[in-house]
Chains A and B, each alone.
Chain A
Amino acid sequence: MMSVLAIEVPYWGQSLLRVLGGLVAVLLPAGTIVYVFLFKMMSFMQSRLGPMEAGPYGSMQLFAEVGKWLQKEDIQPDNADKRIFRMAPIVVLMSTFLLVAVVPFGPDAWFTNFETGVFYALAVSSISVLGILMAGWSSANKYSLLGGLRAAGQLIAYELPMVLAVVGVVIQAGTMNLQQIVLAQNAGSIFGSDIVGNPYVLTQFVGFVVFMIAVQAELTQAPFDMPIAESELVSGYMTEYSGFRFLIFFIGEFATAGVFAMIASTLFLGGWGIPFSWFGWTDMDSVANWMNVAGPLIVFTKMMVLVFLIMWIRFSSPRFREDQLQRFAWKVLIPVSLANIMVTAVLKVAF
């Protein structure tokens, strides 16, 4: 973001721009995902229209919903641990905002160009578990506690395959910096053909599938929605939350879906880039300046495609049982991703 518009911006101005950019990068995808997928796509898949009254095709429904939640009474259970009860949603949302900080949006349009970007993303994504456990415990409610514990067990189990799936990408790109991973994909070639670059969804397909399944579980979307199973646990750790505190959880859920999809698109679909051979670019310096404007749109498009996959599976799958869920993680995903690492490493050395 240093010289996006070729204007010298003072340090405080850059910081302000970064904060505003982070807000947009988290909240805009969250709103779009809720309207396009949760309201409209889900309704069409269930043969109904969804919201139609507020604005054309119900497009203003989101603002109506936010207004509704903000008006609602802020209820805190008598026996709840009030301070932790209030802190929990903020911890969950904080982890989302920390996560977006490493996503690159263009050759110069990034928040931080962190050397260990992927590793950082995996680390801060696990902070949300802490918030979920805090919410589940402090609500003084059996269902909430059960939901929190289920969430923790599930997220611990699925964090491992997620990390292991990313290792394949890191081996192939030879770096943990997300910007360099984007470069490696778009400037790369498969068997000498650089028509589409080298998006790792082609060469790391196993890693991509494992990563997306783990993302589905990390987001506690069906079929991995044991922790918030509304038919048995009444939304689990969110049971006691109302009004704007529930709104924060709700935003956190869909914003995290968006940010995880952005990270997945950066790791596997080439991120902000388009195959560099189309325009004759060879490295980061030769990329045209307009990519700083087009990049965010490309990331957004790729994110929408991946969120579509996530939501499609969510709306059409029944729930896993607890034992199936754990068995799937430990006996299928982790061995598969370990084998993927071995094969990738061997091929990397061989070629």
Chain B
Amino acid sequence: MVAQNIGFTIIAAAMVVGALRVVTTTNVVHAALWLVVVLSGAAAQYILLAAEFIAVTQVLVYIGAVMVLFLFGTMLTRSRIGTDSGLNNSYAKLGIPVAMVLFAAMSLALADSFGTEELPTDSSLINTQQISDQIFGPYLLPFWALSFVLLAAVIGAIVLARKD
């Protein structure tokens, strides 16, 4: 377990640095690229937890799709090289207490639901089949509901984008 802990510390440190740079950097594209570092750190943490399907999904969805679209949009609209002024608005300071409250709420929720539970140390991997059995079995209804949310978002985007 020592190796995992060392790995976790290194990845977590990289993620924290990346997250700080996302909000402190003065260039929008740099911020997006630092976000890539944070998201790939999350994928690496999933690998450490032996959840490889979720790790790969994280890479495919967040790095391969979301961040690429993000960069695509940023480069189409405000693609200046160098520093951008006016990236922080007047509510920037308000973000700190909000982040604190969110952090506290999430830590409480995690500690409440998992407590002192530990991951099984033997190599009982949760394989992809078990995940799909869960999604298409007991969690089918939430899965459908999520698809409807996505469908609504897509239709909304088309309505907003179409002029005629």
Mark out the residues of chain A between 144 and 183 whose CB falls within 8 Å of any chain B CB in the assembled complex.
Answer: 145, 148-149, 152-153, 155-156, 159, 176
Query: Is A28's CB within 8 Å of the partner chain B?
Result: no
Q: Which residues of A have CB within 8 Å of B125?
A: 115
User: A145 with B64: in contact, given A127-B59, A137-B29 (CB under 8 Å)?
Assistant: no
Sort A-B residue pairs by CB-CB distance and give the 3 closest, nearest first.
A126-B64, A123-B60, A123-B59
Query: Is B38's CB within 8 Å of the partner chain A?
Result: no
Query: Is A80's CB within 8 Å of the partner chain B?
Result: yes
A-B contact count (CB 8 A): 80
B60 to A119, Cβ gap below 8 A?
A: yes
Mark out the residues of chain A between 132 and 150 whose CB falls within 8 Å of any chain B CB in the assembled complex.
Answer: 133-134, 136-138, 140, 145, 148-149
A interface with B by C-beta (< 8 Å): 79-81, 84, 114-116, 119-120, 122-124, 126-127, 129-130, 133-134, 136-138, 140, 145, 148-149, 152-153, 155-156, 159, 176
B interface with A by C-beta (< 8 Å): 29-30, 33, 36, 52-53, 56-57, 59-60, 63-65, 67-69, 71-72, 75-76, 79, 81-82, 125, 127-128
A130 to B127, Cβ gap below 8 A?
A: no
A79 to B53, Cβ gap below 8 A?
A: no
Question: Complex formed: what's the CA distance from A114 to B127 in Å?
Answer: 11
A130 to B68, Cβ gap below 8 A?
A: yes
Taking CB as reference atom, which chain B residue is nearest A129? B68
B33 to A84, Cβ gap below 8 A?
A: yes
Q: Which residues of B have CB within 8 Å of A159?
A: 64-65
A156 to B59, Cβ gap below 8 A?
A: no
Q: Which of A81, A119, A137 contacts B75 (CB 8 A)?
A: A137
Taking CB as reference atom, which chain A residue is nearest B67? A130
Q: Which residues of A have CB within 8 Å of B82?
A: 81
Q: Which residues of A have CB within 8 Å of B79?
A: 137, 145
Q: Which residues of B have CB within 8 Å of A116?
A: 52-53, 56, 128
With most chain A CB atoms within 10 A of its CB, the pick from B60, B63, B67, B76 is B60
A133 to B52, Cβ gap below 8 A?
A: no
- Name 9 A/B residue pairs within 8 A (Cβ), A-sorted: A115-B127, A119-B60, A120-B56, A123-B57, A126-B63, A130-B36, A133-B72, A134-B33, A153-B72
Within the complex, the shortest CB–CB distance from B135 to chain A, in Å, comes to: 15
User: A152 with B81: in contact, given A126-B60, A127-B63, A129-B64 (CB under 8 Å)?
Assistant: no
B68 to A81, Cβ gap below 8 A?
A: no
Question: Complex formed: what's the CA distance from A119 to B63 in Å?
Answer: 14
Taking CB as reference atom, which chain B residue is nearest A155? B68
Q: Which residues of A have CB within 8 Å of B52?
A: 114-116, 120
